[in-house]
Amino acid sequence: MRRKFLENLVFLLFLNFLIKPLWILGVDRQVQNVLGATDYGFYFSIFNFSYLFYIFLDLGITNFNNRNIARNNHLVGEYLGGIASLKLILGIIYAILVFITGWIIGYNEHQLHLMLWVAFNLFLTSFILYLRSNISGLLHFKTDSVLSVLDRFLLIILVGLFLLIPVLKQNFNVFWFVHAQTVAYSITALVALIIVIKKSGRLVLRWDTTFFIHILKRSYPFALLALIMGIYTRIDSVLIERLLPDPLGEQQAGVYAQAYRLLDAGQNISYLFAVLLLPIFSKMLKENKAVSSLVKLSFSILMTGALLLAVSSLFYADHLMHLMYTQNIGESHTAYLLRLDQSAYIFKVLMWTLVAVSSNYIFGTLLTANNSLKTLNFIALSGLILNIAFNVLLIPEMHAEGAAIATLITQSSVAVIQLLVAVNRLKLKWNWLLAGKLLLFILVFYLMGRMILKVESIEWYYQWSVLLFSGIILSFVLRLLNWKGFFLIIQERNQL
């Protein structure tokens, strides 16, 4: 059984490391280069505005269903028709809400047109996640792993063709990009639906008010948390576009998106870790087992990885931005350099945000497993208020750079509060030795970066590679990374 789970884990990580970085750092990045910062910023702000209302597509149903099906496999067929019907109703409500809100705050016809397609794509995404919750709840991990990357795989093929064929590339626009997403998500949803029906035996859509109310009552705490967190993690680009005059707002949203793309990639790794830890924490807490050693282990691994990226970004952010983004048609060389300078600064700030986010994935997951949803909702609401306040204060003066600082302040504050609450509520002991090792790691790794940077005869990407490799060695020397400890997580998960 342990070997089987390890194979599933490696398979999941392999697919995600293979497909998602290729999409985020390869195809999606090239889309922004072809569209330009302004057009991509237009899409990025519309997407994030639509995402603010994403929770109305789900209302916590997916998380509830995942846990419920895992405990009661026989309910897949019984629940499928009712929840699928409820998801369709929520999709209609969501589309109306997004469109009316967008119209009220002043989006023009062109923006509203794109918004409807983006909203439809988000509905498909939500429906895919619900279908996958049935598959993972039945413990078909490999099938779920394939579905987790199928949409991105199809997008790489579709958008890749648009970008590789010259005649298509010349006419490529943001609507082509969104329509390609619609095709990829539709195919993925259809495949997932066929698999779930095969497992459940039937799908009969039905209107059942009593059933709807029952499901929503049990899922609303998850919904409220997801709503608040979704707003304060996605509202930055919306506020950039809304608070700054046109076309500066869309251009600055595009600049922000350039750096945010790498934060998004880093968060995906942390998210996979959280998915692994949630059932482990839940089972251990239910059985009154001590979680401190597992918290220490997971925190050490995630924080080490985040710090490797955060510290190294201080030295090579400018090089990375020049490597990833090209000069747009009609853009002066001076404007191009200014855009990359801004993105490099934002990238440095967001990589330190990744450190806070990694901590949140550990202690937020731990508090979720402990069913401390009211506390998490209060913390998230405080983070939302803080985020909006700093964005409104900083964006008019500092533009996209101000939004990055607001994000760092918000995520760091939330991280500290979640840590303190988890330590107090679960009676965890402060690990001063681990804290000291992390501080020592930051100091030594930073000094190593300064030394390597002085070797000007070596190209920057070789310098960066040497620095990262040296940092990994340093983490083992300080025993921040421990392979034996990593397999402890696998062993714990295998016992579920």
The CA angle 228-403-413, to the nearest 5 degrees, is 55
Task: Please state the rounded mean pLDDT for residues 53-64.
Answer: 73
* Inter-residue contact 359 to 204 (CB < 8 Å): no
Most confident of 20-34, 63-77, 137-151, 398-412: 398-412
Residues in Cβ contact with 201 at an 8 Å cutoff, skipping those fewer than 6 apart = 77
Two structure tokens written together for 221: 């705490």
Give the model confidence (pLDDT) of 216-233 as tens digits.
776 777 677 767 776 777
Task: Please state the rounded mean pLDDT for residues 152-161.
Answer: 90
Confidence grade of residue 12 (pLDDT, cut at 50, 70, 90): low
More confident call, 494 vs 77 = 77
Residue 110: CB atoms within 10 A of its CB come to 11
Residue 201's pLDDT is 64
Query: Percent of the chain at pLDDT above 70?
Result: 83
More confident call, 214 vs 2 = 214
- DSSP type of residue 330: T
What is d(CA 132, CA 129) in angstroms, rounded to the nearest whole number?
5
- For residue 26, give the nearest of 260, 262, 313 by alpha carbon: 262
Domains of the chain, residue spans:
16-220, 244-496
Q: Please, where are the H alpha helices in 287-431? A: 292-324, 333-369, 373-398, 400-425
Residue 78's pLDDT is 60
- For residue 188, give the nearest of 220, 226, 230, 158 by alpha carbon: 158
The CA angle 159-161-163, to the nearest 5 degrees, is 70
State yes or no: pLDDT of 392 exceeds 90: yes
* Inter-residue contact 320 to 29 (CB < 8 Å): no
- Look over the chain and give the mean of its residue pLDDT values, rounded to a whole number: 81
Confidence grade of residue 73 (pLDDT, cut at 50, 70, 90): low
More confident call, 84 vs 182 = 182
State yes or no: pLDDT of 77 exceeds 80: no
Confidence grade of residue 187 (pLDDT, cut at 50, 70, 90): very high
Confidence grade of residue 2 (pLDDT, cut at 50, 70, 90): very low
Give the model confidence (pLDDT) of 264-285 as tens digits.
777 777 777 776 677 677 767 7
